[in-house]
Structure 1
Amino acid sequence: MGDSLPVSELTEDSARAELARLAELLARANTQYHTQDAPEISDAEYDDLKRRNTEIEKRFPHLKRADSPSDQVGAKPGDGFSKVTHAVRMMSLGNAFDDEDVGDFTRSIRKYLGLGDDAPLAFTAEPKIDGLSLSLRYKDGHLVQAATRGDGEFGENVTANARTISDIPHRLENAPAVLEVRGEVYMSHADFDQLNARQAEAGEKTFANPRNAAAGSLRQLDSAITRARPLRFFAYAWGELSAPLAETQMGAIERLKQYGFSTNPLTALCETTHHMLDHYRGIEAQRATLGYDIDGVVYKVNDLALQARLGFRSTTPRWAIAHKFPAELAWTRLEAIDIQVGRTGALSPVARLHPVTVGGVVVSNATLHNEDYIAGRDAKGGTIRDGKDIRVGDWVQVYRAGDVIPKIADVDISKRPDDAVEFTFPNTCPECQSQAIREEGDAVRRCTGGIICPAQATEKLKHFVSRKAFDIEGLGAKQIEMFYDDPDLSVKTPVDIFTLQTRDAANLNKLANRKGWGAQSAGNLWAAIDEKRLIPFGRLLFALGIRHMGEAASNLVATHYGEWSEFERAVTAASGFEGPEWDELLSIDGIGEVMARALVSAFAQEAERASIDALVAQLEVQPAKRPDTDGSPVAGKTVVFTGTLEKMTRAEAKARAEALGAKVSGSVSKKTDLLVAGPGAGSKAKKAAELGIETLDEDGWLHLIGAA
């Protein structure tokens, strides 16, 4: 198999386009898996897409998108349950796919901690259960709440359902006053088969695989249904604690076992990377006979004090990683090739397949990447799949590595129909018939129609009202399409949404008289729209759909500037891509030049800026929330580190400063408040002295932040 282009051969433009495609596919997959309990394909395909995304980001770090799949956890909670705010965020795990990745993981930890190759460093290794993450909260030993992971910050309250699972104790003896136990709800293969047999006998829906069955059963609104389902629970982690469980990961797991939780008997303590890999292969050899689904092995630093030092990235702990098992394959017939147009104008070919089950999941769609991939070549004209093109009617091999649209891995030419013809990729947009151009160095062909292209316009509006953007109740994709084509209540730009009620009144309440609506439903929509006139800064910026500016980047920008008016002033002043405002924008950790240029360019476009200004005039933009840094001596200050740090690594120092509310910059300027200089400090220390900037050595810094 092959990708649209090997990562090593990507140009900057083609890498940017590929990252955009991957972000869109993986976001859809997260919703299907975590919210809908209905993945289209397997974990293996998802992992392959995510791995490709990571490899591209490593090669082009400045192109990393703010909505990068690397920074996403799960999906928003569903609407059927009340929401629970996790006291301690539920994180996802980074992935390793081969021995080299595991070696890189252990080496990165040693480097971060400043440990030599011979220093002792133990890890636990445990099977990665393919189920649904659950957090159980105990107060004074009593189970008081159970919540799904959701998006890591907010989960679904499934307390009544969790109480029906026999593996979950209702009361704990001698437990800390506050204890959150975390683990995985799953269903054994035998129980899954019996459940599907009962479902079929009763004429009810059967489940695709044990994971879907477990997730669907736990998320029933009627706990009696959950009680009738054979759910199990493995405990392996914890959230909020009023007192430590132990000093090590293994000790804490043993403590959970003593409380009456089921813990996985295959969890082992490993002293070396070699031992970790041996245990991985041992578990992999047992995979088919375990009686429940696993998709890899999780390694965690055993020493909890070291875990605390290592801390977290935006969505993953530094001290843990999931070593995933290989992907799965299946063969089926390619029935059609459709061209879809995204909100950036990209023409994306999608394979429509005769449905086939791969690893327990029914697959009917697959990505075909771009025209080169269909033709059997890369962007430079080299061959992939031995030069075999892909045609409607072909017998194709489907490759799954995740819960998004799979890939076509190969073609069986011997089974190709005699009447199969070479696929001709369109050079006009199927939505608006505008010319579709492929720029030099870009793997993707894009529609030039812009706002006249209904696919782009409606997709941007759908993004604007999506859950992570304005999330207006009663105004989703279906309603956007309805209003877009309405001659009286037309919604062509975001500001049109907020003038809908006024225009409807002028049209004698047309919406209330429309079939399927009514006075109450129309009134509910107007109320929902008015409710969203008060919008957080970060959500507004994300909702604008500026290319490369995803949710995480939007929130980073919002947190940095605080007020929308200050942001507007700065981004306007940066229109020439130079000067202090431009430098400040680039100084935001996580905002690269590609993102910054896209942001500044959007606000510099006369028509787009007018549209944004008209929208903002209808809104009240809430200032961004700052980190809770009460009492921090460096909150709001700009800190620069230079020279060699001897008591902590540079990465630790930066993470600690940011956690305390400081901005960490790589260069000294008039805006710098503090320079921390270790041995070997050079030009930065000299410039700081010239500017009269306060300078501390490492001991002084540690004393200042209370970590000496």
Structure 2
Amino acid sequence: MTAESRIHQLRAELDQHNYRYYVLDEPSVPDAEYDRLFNELKALEAEHPHLVTPDSPTQRVGGSALAAFSQVRHEVPMLSLGNAFEENDLREFDRRVVEGLDQPGAVDYSCEPKLDGLAVSLLYRDGQLVQGATRGDGSTGEDISSNVRTVRNIPLKLQGSGWPAVLEVRGEVYMSKAGFDRLNATQAESGGKTFANPRNAAAGSLRQLDSKITASRPLEFCCYGLGQVSETIADSHIGILEQLKAWGLPISRELKHAAGIEECLAYYQDIGARRNDLPYEIDGVVFKVNSLASQRELGFRAREPRWAIAHKFPALEELTEVLDVEFQVGRTGAVTPVARLKPVKVAGVTVSNATLHNMDEVARLGLRIGDTVIIRRAGDVIPQVMQVVLERRPDDARPVQVPTACPVCGSQVERTQLIKRSKGKETTSEGAVYRCVGRLACAAQLKQAIIHYVSRRAMDIDGLGEKSVEQLVDEGLIRSPADLYSLTFEQIVDLEGFAEVSSNKLLEAIKDSKRPSLARFIYALGIPDVGEETAKVLARSLGSLARVQVALPQILTYLPDIGLEVAHEIHNFFEDAHNRDVIQQLLDSGMQLQDEGDLAPEFAASTTLAGMIAKLDIASVGPTGAEKLVAKLGSLEQIIAADGIDLRQALAAKQAEAVREFFKVEANQQLARAIEAQLREFGMHWESEKKVVEGLPLAGQTWVLTGSLERMSRDIAKDKLESLGAKVAGSVSGKTHCVVAGPGAGSKLAKASELGVKVLDEDAFIVFLGEQGISV
């Protein structure tokens, strides 16, 4: 292919990508792929300058304005930035700047995160917002004035005084990660379109023809510079932004000054390390020569300033091919599809596998084996397939088929059934998950169950990593978690990775694990939908394993944050004969559960008969009807025995008939009696003895831990706070009582300072714990 033909091909492809990205808000390739194509075209045009045309993508920025919006001509073009992908690219940029300015010493730069959103222009006249526009093609954009007025952090009138008569502010409209998650959840619930990433969500929200839709979306704005301005504001870029902030315009909290290229590189590394903790998506860092006089001296190229550059992070999204789809078996037997990919580097890591979650997700994506797909990786998150590039689908692409037999043990694979319970009725539908019915007879399920059981947050058996567990299962040495406690030195010393010292250490760690807290033990069992917090609720509230094992679902729903579906999962787990056998074997091995005791005082005599009747979900009978029924008839037995006349004296005819029909069923009578009997047995019955509840000192308070604590782990700090009654949250809000900040604290500490939340360092925190009688 000739250079001219390739140039024409690249222009056509880039124009199509621009159209999909800027006009349709439906990009079909990740940014990294676009950058490669653009750089190839740029290099070819540099080699053959006579082939450069005014309509080449290298000679303009962005795409055409939507016909549905009126057009706005930018008095000062909105240019894009050159990119640096490697450290040497940035050093080369600095060399050009230094040579261009011909001045001694290091150049001063401004440093800001490069937000991943939509570039906009805001025009203020005499301090009033009069116009908002998209970048468009750099010269002409779309008039989105009505929409930008709905973005909450864009001031409609500037604060203070002294602003120029004409002030054009430029910046990025974006969506925070939390806002993006909320929007997609809302869209999914209402059957609307979900978005691939926050950038797409922001662009799609800002370019709605109906501004009421824009107003409902969690958009934010951050300014990064100026367009036209009727008078000078400051003599430096940072000075301009600080003045804009004084007038009420939001600027980046991460804005910093750097003296020379080494400080720029240090900033890049720092932001990169904190990237996943930032509340918004960024794809790099923007460095600008800080002095405006120096900016004017350096000037512009055709489409970008010589005094600024974007140092990009490794791409979070990439294109690759699906070579096959295999199925893995997890701890609960879930048979999960996994895409085997043509290896590709994403965010600096070579990726060859990506999760597909379940077959409903495969259907939603329309994925076939052989497809070209966009995959995304952020931080330590498992790479996932975001989108199929349909225009690249080969003719021999194959559909994904669920195996009928477990790929590990050969047992039958069944589709799960979802049971929805309401008002005494159960509705069954097909679930999204397929499950192997082999349980612990399936080596994959057994391995995952053991790995979970020995993990740090569960039984914390040091020395048993995934490979060690796999060896023990493959050698037939363990067939359930209980078998760990009968392992001998002779059985493990000859295994790969073990020797005399490590074998003795492992046996000692297994022995030490025999005194877990009740909460850790419950979590280690691997009950579906029971995480650490739910395990703690069960342990604190019911006080003993014996109560947790026999608790009826309706009893469990009296506990905080346990709904009926989770309650049924817990109850069904302990009803399973195999699970009961394993638990008994664990107890017989010498397990001594700590912290067991009485029912939590706040649950003693905490129920009412009316509340219990309401939990039976009798059709048409809610809490008010239940109270009327109890007021008239007085006891459960009288309610069960009541005839239609008695019931109609307490309730409306429809409700009375519903109660009569419900208790005509023998199984419902037995259930009601069983619930009352268990309430009495546990001490929760309304006739039980009421206990005095001593309030915990931090009850009702929310605390947040951030940074690295040096004298204790964050897990231990969390346990100590929870023992005092505090709730430990993962994010800072106006409801946060206190933040404990160790070295390396980042955005959470900044948020606490912004909201005026109390902050303790580790030393002060330890003193505080001592004052509460908690030793460290």
TM-score relative to the length of structure 1:
0.46
Considering Cα pairs closer than 8 Å and 6+ residues apart, tell me whether 1 or 2 has the greater RCO: 1
TM-score relative to the length of structure 2:
0.42
